[in-house]
Amino acid sequence: MSKQTLTITDNRTGETIEVPIGHDTIKALDLRQLKAQPDDFGMMAYDPGYTNTASCKSRITYVDGDRGILRYRGYPIEQLAQESAFLEAAYLLIFGELPSADELAHWNERIMRHTHIHENLADLLKTFRHDAHPMGILISAIAAMSTLHPEAKQVHDNQRRLQQIWRILGALPTVAAFSYQNRLGRPYTHPHSALGYIDNFLYMMNPMNQDDGEVDPVLARALDALFILHADHEQNCSTSALRNIASSDADPYSSIAGAAAALYGPLHGGANEAVLRMLTAIGDVKKIPAYLNKVKNREARLMGFGHRVYKNYDPRAQIIKKIAYDVFEVTGGNPLIDIAVELERIALDDEYFASRRLYPNVDFYSGIIYQAMGFPVDMFPVLFVLGRAPGWLAQWVELATDPEQRIARPRQIYLGEDERSYVPLAERA
Ligand code: CMC
């Protein structure tokens, strides 16, 4: 077997060091030995946006961006989306194995019990203005939950952690539905814990305004599969934010509120909302070439396209495109789908997008489905949060139980002023 080391020569000094390689990776701290002067700080790696930095060892989600592969705990996303259910996939992500029938029944029961939220939280949701963005409400509500459950600070206690996991997964759909009802001026529809997780969420939301409150099984199945597709995606922006916050032993509500804030941005989970607004602004297939020209002139971004990791195709986007047509069978079509399909066709044929390996990502079609199901556009990132919550929780548990993890504290390259003396106000130019 070849030697598992890397030899580095510092041409400033001629010094050579040999550092160990593990998992195709060297330890960044090993570079610190390289110094131009003995009293130098030592060499660091510069990596804005962490494009090539592994911040943890993880056993949860595997992504191969070049081959378009996504697996949760080894199981292909295509099989999970087709055969599993959201809470089962959540269990798999958090505990590492598929549950037995008894384990699954207990897991479902515990989570559905926790769909009933504290009255203070329900009251808090009423204090937002009617036009408040639902993500602002959700982020605030999750942060507020830490004040109601101070025992959640015991992040190194297994049982305490489990209680917060049940509570977070249970409460999020209720918080989302209550904030939607507030906006409409409707009374709260309280959770129906005998229903399944997704059915209960659709029952509380009633986005299609059905008189009988019945939940269409095709729509429930579609939303279930969409949530599975969103459930984890290894060290993305929001998960890294969560790990950063949780690395200081913050409670999980504060950490997840921070993760949700990171997800809110249009380059991440806010993209599904941005795609819908983009497709609506384009408005007509004839206007697609003009929009793509704007993108190429860097006056706009093609929202729902491109990914830091997937440079071939995003397997989630392919599954979602199929789900869209299942949903339209029930809801009737969404005129934006024609614009989206044509936009994808033209962009994939275009040298600008092909040479940059830009393909539709998970957010390109999800918004069109959510809109057809009756969800308002600004609720789309909230739906992403509901889907992503199990992944955040799995990553939080992994971090909390990983003896190699330390408080996140990156370095910087300081390029500011050298020491200088304070100038009194009267003497400044
Ligand atoms: N439209 C136009 N050009 C793009 C796009 C896009 N959506 N994405 C990347 N590019 C170009 C970019 O301008 C750059 O070109 P050049 O080399 O000439 O300067 C090249 O492609 C490489 O892009 P990058 O910005 O270095 O890529 P990144 O890995 O830093 O960013 C991204 C990844 C997802 C933020 C980006 O592709 C993007 O902004 N996409 C649109 C927003 C979006 O759909 N986000 C959802 C991501 S998937 C769901 C999730 O995880 O949240």
Domains and CATH numbers, the chain: 76-267+380-400 (1.10.580.10), 271-371 (1.10.230.10)
Compute, in angstroms, the gap from residue 292 CA to the centroid of ligand 1. 14
Compute, in angstroms, the gap from residue 306 CA to the centroid of ligand 1. 5
- For residue 213, the model assigns a pLDDT of 77
pTM score, whole prediction: 0.94
Task: Give exposure, 97-135, as e/b (b: 16+ Cβ within 10 Å).
Answer: eebeeeeeeebbebbbebbebeeebbebbeebeeebbbb
Percent of the chain at pLDDT exceeding 90? 90
Determine the average pLDDT of the residues in 182-197: 92
| pLDDT band of 60, cuts 50, 70, 90 | very high
Q: Is 424 left (phi over 0), alpha (psi -120 to 50) or beta?
A: beta
Centre a 10 Å sphere on the Cβ of residue 76 and count the other Cβ atoms it contains. Answer: 14
Q: Is residue 294 in contact with ligand 1, taking CB distance under 6 Å?
A: no
> In this predicted model, what pLDDT tens digit does every residue of 127-137 receive, in sequence order?
999 899 999 99
pLDDT at 211 over 80: no
Catalytic residue among 118, 190, 192, 268: 268
- For residue 89, the model assigns a pLDDT of 98
Comparison of pLDDT for 141 and 311, the residue scoring more:
141
- For residue 185, the model assigns a pLDDT of 87
Which structure tokens are listed for 23? 């998992």
- For residue 214, the model assigns a pLDDT of 86
| pLDDT band of 311, cuts 50, 70, 90 | confident
Determine the average pLDDT of the residues in 191-211: 91
Catalytic residue among 199, 314, 363, 378: 363
Of 7-16, 217-226, 268-277, 379-388, least confident by mean pLDDT is 268-277
Q: Is residue 92 in contact with ligand 1, taking CB distance under 6 Å?
A: no
Contact 103, 88 (CB under 8 A): no
Determine the average pLDDT of the residues in 172-201: 94
